[in-house]
Amino acid sequence: MLSLSISSPPPAIAGGNGEPAAYDFHPSPSISLSCCRRNGYPLLLAVPKTSEGTPTSSYSFRNSSRRSAISERKAAIEQVKESTNLEATLPRVEGLLRAEDLNVILRYFGESRRWIEVSQLFDWMQKNKVLNLTSYSTFIKYMRISRNPVKALQVYDSITDKSTRVHLSICNSLLGCMAQNGRFASSVKLFSKMKDDGLSPDVVTYSALLSGCCKEEDGYSKAVQLVQELENSGLQKDAVIYGSLIAICASNNLCEQAEEYFNQMKELCAPNIFHYSSLLNAYSANGDYAKAEKLVVDMKSTGIEPNKVVLTTLLKVYARGGLFEKSHNLLTELQALGYAEDEMPYCLLMDNLAKAGKIEEAREVFEKLKENKVKSDGYAYSIMISAFCRARMLQESMQLAKSCEVNYEKFDLVMQNTLLRAYCIAGDMDSVMKMLKKMDELKLSPNWNTFHILIKYFCREKLFHLAYRTLEDMHNKGHKLNEELCLSLISQLAKAGFPSESFSVYNMLRFSNRNVNKSIHETVLNILVGAGLLKDAYVIMKDNMELISKSSLNKFATSFMKLGNINLINDVIKAFYRGGRTIDSEIFQMAISRFIEKPKKKDLLLHLLKWMESHGYVVDSTSRNLLLKNSHIFGQKKLLAEMLSKQHVNSRILRGLQVEV
């Protein structure tokens, strides 16, 4: 329904007879708005209001040239860009702006890092179905930069149109988003799904994947594999691939390989600023400032002026190399150039000062950062909190952590971990629990570091069961367990009277870590024997006999003969034999008397005696007498007597042989 206002010419909708039909109306949602686009007024700048004063979607109609339609759209774009209230502004452009116009705005918000607006605008585009392929890839790209892979995935999953979902550039952007946000495994999964869906990966696909290798453990070998695959599929390394490779080498401290790729690439094309800055970063690993300075000179000679990243990386080289005077000077230079407006260079200097033990100097840089009102995402805080923790300045770290919590609402996982550690080290249980609750609310899933911090803390607070449960959680979430931590938990759980949990930690550790320290088996064996968990002890002993000392084995065997499951006694003895261990006659003696106490187990006893006979073991005289005295329980006195006498002969033969040798 149209509700007319202002003037009232006949509602001859635009295009009718070329008459200017200037009136406003409130479109009902069912009316297609595409017919309302042509319009010469700089709409939206002054939105006419209805008599009620509500600023709703209002359009003026007018026949006009194409050129004015374009300028109208341009004006609308500008207005949305400048809007401080997208929710109110967007409905006014409904039907006027096309997907490509909205993409322009999306990029504008993205490039100015206004993530809230990016999301608001995109949500609106989705809701109103004014979007195209580019909208998706652009949005996903900004989710990559703003480190929001979850949102990117949500959006991707919401795509119903198959030709959009299975599209190389969409998939490539999602791949890059996952890879660069620490979800390398997911990106590899997506990669193989793409191939299954019939897409042919191109260089962009590979460089997106490579970008994830930088922060990945063992990233270099993964990168080499990917490049191999790229070349096998007939593609060639381009400048971007080389750039990624050099960056990966740099972050894996492979300075020489970085140089090699750099030189290799020079044959192909002239290095650009990305290649230079990545190679420079490779030099930062060793703080090789001489090479770094030479590289910057080379770069300048090819006509490339160092940018913010290059100079910041050079600062990193100096700071890593412990050249703090040069670092300070460069920071001043960066400030003068307007390159120190974010916290990065301060962070580099602070962190390295603190790690070099110059905590007070680090604190001064931090103060300077605050004085200069440098915008911080919290990294600077994180660095200082960690630095104070490291220096055991617990008061300072706590104070900073608290003020950090007040000043920053949005934390990422590293920040959470930093605060958590500060609270844990200071022993502030209240804050620890609050932090955990907050992490839960923010749906931040703990990483390896989080678990590690908590387990150590719970141990220290003697909350062993909590420590155990946390470790279990960590294991179930697929994190590799740290041996040292497990070992300490194993012994602490045992001391606190939780041997089963101790054993369970041992099993989790073995599951997650193939090459555990060899002495751990004996440690756990002794714990289990001490606690009387002999069946579990038997499993350990059987699997690791060659790694366990004679005295521990004997302690185990003695306990088992006395208290272990009677049905397993023969198995234990045989396991000793198979493991090449000597079996003392006391062990046999204990086994035999154990069986005699349980006449129902006479078959096991007979089995043992036969086994001893065939393996050259003698029944000692005490056992012999005991057996003869209780021979009635066997019902077959004769059989027993025969067996014992035969054995006696055998053993004499055996002894005779030994003497001859």
Partner DNA sequence: CTAGGGTTAG
What are the residues binding DNA (CB under 7 A)?
100, 103-104, 132-134, 137-138, 141, 144, 168-169, 172-173, 176, 180, 202-208, 210-211, 214, 238-244, 247, 250-251, 272-275, 277-278, 281, 307-310, 312-313, 316, 342-344, 347-348, 351, 377-379, 382-383, 386, 412, 414-415, 418
Please identify, using beta-carbon distances, which residue of 14 and 317 lies nearer to DNA.
317
Q: In the complex, what is the shortest distance from the CB of residue 144 to DNA, in angstroms, rounded to a whole number?
A: 6
DSSP conformational letter for 4: B
| Dihedral of the alpha carbons of 399, 403, 406, 410, in degrees to the nearest 10 | -110
SS3 content of the chain, % helix, strand, coil (to 5): 70, 0, 30
Cβ closer to DNA: 272 or 554?
Answer: 272
Based on CB atoms, which residue is closest to DNA, 154 or 551? 154
Rounded to a whole number of angstroms, the minimum distance from the CB of residue 375 to DNA is: 10
Q: What is the DSSP string of 218-232?
A: THHHHHHHHHHHHHH
Give CA 348 to chain center in angstroms.
23
Tokens 């007597």 belong to which residue? Answer: 641
Contact 534, 564 (CB under 8 A): yes
With respect to DNA, which residue has the nearer C-beta, 100 or 597? 100
User: What is residue 419's three-state secondary structure?
Assistant: helix
Residue 277 is encoded by which pair of tokens? 């800055």
Q: How far is CA 190 from the centre of its chain?
A: 17
Least separation in angstroms between residue 206's CB and DNA is 7
Query: Among residues 27 and 378, whose Cβ is nearest to DNA?
Result: 378
Question: Which are the contacts of 495, defined by CB distance < 8 A and separation ≥ 6?
Answer: none
In the complex, the smallest distance separating the C-beta of residue 330 from DNA, rounded to whole angstroms, is 12
The phi, psi pair for 342, rounded to 5°, reads -115, 175
Least separation, in Å, of the C-beta of 1 and DNA? 33
Q: Among residues 378, 381, 410, which one has the least CA distance to residue 115?
A: 410
Q: What residue type is assigned to position 654 of the chain? A: L
Rounded CA gap, 339 and 318, in Å? 17
Please write down the long-range contacts of 379-382, taking CB distance under 8 Å and 24 or more positions apart: 379/343, 379/344, 379/347, 380/343, 380/346, 380/347, 380/350, 381/408, 381/415, 381/418, 382/414, 382/415, 382/418
Closest distance of CB 116 from DNA, Å: 18
- Residue 476 CB: number of other CB atoms within 10 A? 9
Tokens of 423: 């609270």
| Smallest separation (angstroms) from DNA to the CB of 107 | 8
Nearer to DNA, 423 or 588 (CB): 423
175 vs 569 by CB, closer to DNA: 175
Residue closer to DNA by CB (options 253, 519) is 253
Q: What is the full DSSP assignment across 243-290?
A: HHHHHHHHHTT-HHHHHHHHHHHHHHS---HHHHHHHHHHHHHTT-HH
Cα–Cα distances in angstroms (integers) from residue 641 to residues 500, 530, 618, 627, in the given order: 44, 38, 14, 9
Q: What is the closest distance, in whole angstroms, from the C-beta atom of residue 554 to DNA in the complex?
A: 50
Least Cβ distance, residue 417 to DNA (angstroms): 9
- Shortest Cβ 157–DNA spacing (Å): 18
Q: According to DSSP H, which parts of 34-85 are helical?
A: 66-82
CB of 104 to DNA, least distance (A): 7
Q: Which is nearer to DNA, 394 or 545 (CB)?
A: 394
Shortest Cβ 552–DNA spacing (Å)? 43
Report the distance separating Cα 446 and Cα 56, nearest Å. 46
- Residue with structure tokens 């960066």? 334
Q: How far is the CB of 168 from DNA (least distance, A)?
A: 4
Query: Minimal CA–CA distance to 40: which of 83, 80, 73?
Result: 73
* Residues ≥6 apart with Cβ < 8 Å to 90: 80, 121, 124
CB 276 within 8 A of CB 244: no
Q: CB 397 → DNA: shortest distance, Å?
A: 12
Judged by CB, which is closer to DNA: 123, or 412?
412
- Cβ-based neighbours of 258, under 8 Å, separated by 6 or more: 246, 249, 250, 278, 279, 282
Q: Which is nearer to DNA, 208 or 420 (CB)?
A: 208
For the CB of residue 474, give the shortest distance to DNA in the complex, in Å: 21
**Is the Cβ of residue 105 or residue 572 nearer to DNA in the bound state?**
105
Nearer to DNA, 245 or 590 (CB): 245
